Structure 1
Amino acid sequence: METRRLQLLVELSRLGSMRAVAEATATTTSTVSQQLAVLAREMGAALIEPHGRRVRLTPAGRRLAEHAVTILGAVEAAHLDLAPGAEPNGTLRTAGFATAIRAHLLPLVTELATSHPGVHLLVREHEPAEALELLAADETDLALTYDYNLAPATFEPAVRATALWTAPWGLGVPAWDAADGGTTVEVFARFAAHDWIVNSRNTADETVIRTLASMAGFTPRITHRADNLDLVQGMITAGLGVGLLPAALGTVPNVRLIPLTAPDVVLRAYAVARHGRLNWPPLALITDLLTERSTRPDTGAPPGGRQGDGRS
């Protein structure tokens, strides 16, 4: 079986149209259609069917696409396994949120210069959804992402997520507001009439806020969005609203942090890679180093979150 045809089927299941597959694979729509027709004849089953002006996978096509992910991963793993030499060597492309890069990835650059000088890191700052899109498009080798315990991420079958660290979050409010104590739901109920500030590049914290507000019996009035936690604190100081902040983040004088418990609000960080590359020596090395660094008592859990000095 020609693995190239399987790759086209996987891309169709991911992108949803022949034209998008052709653009992603630098070929033509006609070639994509012809190759999938050959694959259908090889399998003895219809793999696609008309759907309006487009096409969609048949049940057999969806099933084969699931198998194809495993097959392609195994083929790629075989190539990597047969590569000469086991010493990590090469350029590892990484995409991730700023806290992970700043607090955990950048310190490894100094370590690698001494321990593994043949490994080089290329770094791009991106929010989780952006980083995972780059991973799916093979534009990065490692994605550093996060979710929240109350807004868990769903990872595609083609990737594996390795848990790194966790970091508790609280509610940032104006320092002059006397409200304090109680469960998370009670805290949220006291701020039901306030405006709320959420991330401008990621929806996870908005999901957390909406979930907890629903438990407290109200719909939050989300009016402001910011990617930088310094800016979020400035908005809170200016009286524009309240928002989630990392518990480990030092607040400015006019902002205070109310702990959130029962339920807790916890950010969870991950290192995500495609199955076919998990054993590639540079990727395995960096993943192991990140995992080990996340458990060191001297590094602890970073503030975690947005851009700059903030959430990501």
Structure 2
Amino acid sequence: METRRLRMLLDLSRLGSMRAVADVQGTTTSTVSQQIAALADDMGTALVEPDGRRVRLTPAGRRLAEHAVTILAAVEAARHDLAPEGEPNGTLRVAGYATAIRAHLLPVVTALAASHPRVHVLIREHEPAEALQLLAEDGTDLALTYDYNLAPATENPAVHTTTLWTARWGLGVPASADASTDAADVRQRTTLEVFARFAGEDWIVNSRNTADETVIRTLASMAGFTPRITHQADSLDLVQGMITAGLGVGLLPCGTRTVSAVRFVPLAGPDVELRAYAVARHGHRDWPPLALVNDLLRQRSLG
């Protein structure tokens, strides 16, 4: 049923005449009569009856008018709650990859508990393709995703993407690798030289996202070899564990605290850079809780 028709019925119950309702609504008596008749058709019962030269509500009409008070109040509350200029209030569902959640989203959630206690964030850990699928299915409101400069994601016009932070990546190798070469010299090599040095090693890639495998294959091709990709792991801690066990080498973000058995080798020329994004559906990004969290994440990325 249309809320405008409910409003007319409620006004009729209070004002007593269709002319008075028309004056309040800024329309004609004929329009009011037509709209209340349409509402009666919607409900399948008569809502007004003749009362001399005027009309009055039937028992069903009076009962519906009582419901209209609650219904219209709920609609008004919903409009206020969802208005872009309204106070953020509600439950925001976020799906994103572990590093973004741990390093960026959790501090935002902690701050929200004090600054906006009526905003609640539900978190699900997912790799980009999984998070974007949830977004498409309305299983989440905000997706935290990433790609690499050497493996850019395909643009999707159905969603709005906000660029957040970037992070340089390097190569994690066994600490014993290049034992005969000075570590400083290793760090001065170009990316392609570093890759060529480890051409004969097994390579470890992400188990739930193909972006880093694309980067590895691209750089290996530029260095003149085909990488032997064998192991897959989603956790960066597990990647280090695999490197420690001698199972291969793999990409790690700069700033990673490595265990003693793992050496981090920076990559430069070409650089390997991860780019993080916040993705929301068009028409949803102005919802106050989503806009607030999105803005706080962007501020963290700038700081």
Find the counterpart in structure 1 of residue 112 from structure 2: 112
Say yes or no: does 1:188 pair with 2:181.
Answer: no
Say yes or no: does 1:87 pair with 2:122.
Answer: no
Quick one: distance in 2 between partners of 1:94 and 1:155? Answer: 20
- Please give the secondary structure, in 2, of the residue aligned with 1:188: helix
Please show how residues 144-293 of structure 1 align to structure 2 within 5 Å: 144-178=144-178, 180=186, 181-293=188-300
Q: Which amino acid aligns with 2:129?
A: A
Quick one: distance in 2 between partners of 1:106 and 1:234? Answer: 25
Quick one: distance in 2 between partners of 1:185 and 1:281? Answer: 46
The C-alpha deviation readout for 1:18-44, integer Å capped at 9, x for no partner, is xxxxxxxxxxxxxxxxxxxxxxxxxxx
Which piece of structure 1 moves more, 111-120 or 210-219? 111-120
- Please give the secondary structure, in 1, of the residue aligned with 2:283: helix
Equivalenced residues, count: 218
The C-alpha deviation readout for 1:77-123, integer Å capped at 9, x for no partner, is xx979945611111111000111111111112222122212111011
- Please give the secondary structure, in 2, of the residue aligned with 1:258: strand
User: Which structure has the greater CA radius of gyration?
Assistant: 2
Output the TM-score relative to the length of structure 1: 0.67
Structure 1 residue runs of 5 or longer lacking an equivalent are 1-78, 297-312
Residues 87 and 110 (structure 1), Cα distance of their counterparts in 2 relative to 1, 3 Å cut: same
Structure 2 residue runs of 5 or longer lacking an equivalent are 1-77
- Please give the secondary structure, in 2, of the residue aligned with 1:92: strand
Quick one: distance in 2 between partners of 1:271 and 1:80? Answer: 25
Q: Residues 80 and 279 of structure 1 are in contact (CA less than 8 Å); yes or no, is this contact kept in structure 2? A: no
Q: Residues 119 and 289 of structure 2 are in contact (CA less than 8 Å); yes or no, is this contact kept in structure 1? A: yes
- Please give the secondary structure, in 1, of the residue aligned with 2:229: strand
- Please give the secondary structure, in 1, of the residue aligned with 2:157: coil
In angstroms, what is the RMSD of aligned CA positions? 1.7
Quick one: distance in 1 between partners of 2:285 and 2:225? Answer: 44
Residues 182 and 81 (structure 1), Cα distance of their counterparts in 2 relative to 1, 3 Å cut: farther
- Please give the secondary structure, in 2, of the residue aligned with 1:120: strand
Quick one: distance in 2 between partners of 1:156 and 1:80? Answer: 29
- Please give the secondary structure, in 1, of the residue aligned with 2:94: strand
Q: Residues 80 and 277 of structure 1 are in contact (CA less than 8 Å); yes or no, is this contact kept in structure 2? A: no
Find the counterpart in structure 2 of residue 98 from structure 1: 98
Quick one: distance in 1 between partners of 2:134 and 2:201? Answer: 37
Query: How far does residue 230 in structure 1 lie from its aligned partner after superposition?
Result: 1.5
Find the counterpart in structure 2 of residue 142 from structure 1: 142
The C-alpha deviation readout for 1:249-288, integer Å capped at 9, x for no partner, is 0111111011100000011111000111111111111100
Which piece of structure 1 moves more, 108-117 or 142-151? 108-117
Find the counterpart in structure 1 of residue 302 from structure 2: 295
Residues 165 and 158 (structure 1), Cα distance of their counterparts in 2 relative to 1, 3 Å cut: same
Please show how residues 53-92 of structure 1 align to structure 2 within 5 Å: 83=82, 86-92=86-92
Residues 81 and 207 (structure 1), Cα distance of their counterparts in 2 relative to 1, 3 Å cut: farther
- Please give the secondary structure, in 2, of the residue aligned with 1:91: strand
- Please give the secondary structure, in 2, of the residue aligned with 1:139: coil
State, as a whole percentage, how many aligned pairs show the same letter. 74
The C-alpha deviation readout for 1:157-202, integer Å capped at 9, x for no partner, is 1101111111111111111111613110111111111111101111
Quick one: distance in 2 between partners of 1:196 and 1:83? Answer: 48
Find the counterpart in structure 1 of residue 125 from structure 2: 125
Quick one: distance in 1 between partners of 2:177 and 2:203? Answer: 15
Please show how residues 34-49 of structure 1 align to structure 2 within 5 Å: none
Find the counterpart in structure 2 of residue 48 from structure 1: none
Q: Residues 81 and 89 of structure 2 are in contact (CA less than 8 Å); yes or no, is this contact kept in structure 1? A: no
Q: Residues 167 and 254 of structure 2 are in contact (CA less than 8 Å); yes or no, is this contact kept in structure 1? A: yes
Q: Which amino acid aligns with 2:167?
A: A
